[in-house]
Amino acid sequence: MQTEIVLEDCPHCGGDAKFAGLADWPYLSNIVFCPSCLVKGPQAPNYHLAALMWNKRVEAEPVAGDAVAKACPYCAEEVVVEGNNGRGNEPGHEGTLYFTACSSCLGRGPHVPDKDMTVEAWNRRVDG
Ligand SMILES: [Zn+2]
Ligand SMILES: [Zn+2]
């Protein structure tokens, strides 16, 4: 029997989150995503774990030192990497090629059209 989990809103824009199916995210399954800004949550072996990881939120202050990106909202990992959505043409978000991702849980930040905007979008956090 499937345990029903209420998904938290997107940590970056406050949008409603949903489970991603193949139509939403052809590369991977078992993630939660935000249709508004294309945030993808941590990758997990199944939807139940993906939901638990998505709902887990940590305080994400700017990392000490010279880093400008905040820690990951899901796992507090401080190392983030720039990604490039090779297709960049998800329905309704054509041209939003770039995002910042967590190197630990592989959670992805909002997709934006300009590479210089990824960290700003990643750092944008809404209050619980
Ligand atoms: Zn969002
Ligand atoms: Zn993470």
Please determine, for residue 28, whether its predicted confidence score (pLDDT) is greater than 60: yes
Coil, helix or strand at residue 36: coil
Measured over the CA atoms of residue 84, residue 17, residue 9 and residue 43, the dihedral's sign is: negative
What is this structure's pTM? Answer: 0.79
Measured CA distances, 116 to 71, 98, 104 (Å): 18, 9, 22
Q: Give me the chain's average pLDDT, please.
A: 84
Distance 46 CA to ligand 2 centre (A): 17
Amino acid at 74: Y
pLDDT per residue as tens digits for the range 104-122: 998 999 989 888 889 999 9
Q: What's the pLDDT score for residue 78? A: 86
Q: Which of 8-12, 28-32, 63-67 shows the lowest mean pLDDT across its residues?
A: 63-67
pLDDT top residue among 107 and 59: 107
Count CB neighbours of 99 within 10 A: 25
Q: How far is the CA of 118 from the centre of ligand 2 (A)?
A: 16
Q: What is the average per-residue pLDDT within 69-95?
A: 80
Residue with more model confidence, 99 or 66: 99
* Average confidence (pLDDT) over 70-75: 92
Question: Does the pLDDT at position 82 exceed 70?
Answer: yes
pLDDT of residue 2: 56
Q: How far is the CA of 64 from the centre of ligand 1 (A)?
A: 25
How remote is the CA of residue 126 from the centroid of ligand 1, in Å? 10
pLDDT value of residue 8: 96
Nearest CA among 14, 62, 63, 56 for reference residue 39: 14
Q: Which two tokens stand for residue 20?
A: 């991603």
